[in-house]
Structure 1
C-alpha cells in the first residue's frame, strides 16, 4: 500500500487512457481518492497501475475493503431535511 501508483479514471478504458493518469505517492492514497471522491461512473474504466501491474475497479474496491487499507473509511451521511424543508413538504 506504500508504493507509488498511477490512477486512470473514465467511463471506459479508452476514455480513461485519453484523460491520462493521476499520480499518487502511495497505493492507499490512490485507492482512497478513487473510492471516496470519484463519481461511480468514472470507476467503470478505472485502472490502478502499481509496479507494472494493473488493477481494475473491482480490485480497487477490494483493496479499500481489505485489512491492509491504512485509512479510516469515509462515513456516508444520509440526507436529513432541515426543519424548514420538512415544514415546506408538509404544506404541499
Structure 2
C-alpha cells in the first residue's frame, strides 16, 4: 500500500442505507485516523459498503478504508471486537 498520512484532514461520505432514512451523508474530521475510526467502528454496516473516505482530493472505497484501519501504522487504538 502507498504511504498514507493519518494526520491529514478527511471527510467521510456514507453509503446509502438499505432501509429507511440514511441519516448523516457527509462528515468532516480533523484527521484521517478519526475518520477511519468512525467509518469502521460507528457507521452501520449497510452504510459502510458504499462509503468513501476523501483525503486531499484522493478517494478511498470501503475496502480501502478497512485496509487503512487494519494497517499496522494506524495510530489510534481500535475498539475491541
Range into which the TM-score falls when normalised by the shorter chain: 0.7 to 0.9
CA-atom RMSD, angstroms? 1.6
1:32 maps to which of 34, 37, 44: 37
Structure 1 unaligned regions, length at least 5: 77-92
What number of residue pairs does the alignment pair up?
71
Corresponding residue number in structure 2 for 1:87: none
1:54 maps to which of 56, 59, 74: 59
Tell me which stretches of 4 or more aligned residues in structure 1 moved more than 2 Å.
none
Match of 2:80, SS state, is coil
Q: Higher relative contact order at CA 8 Å, sep ≥6: structure 1 or structure 2?
A: 2
Match of 1:32, SS state, is helix
Higher helix share: 1
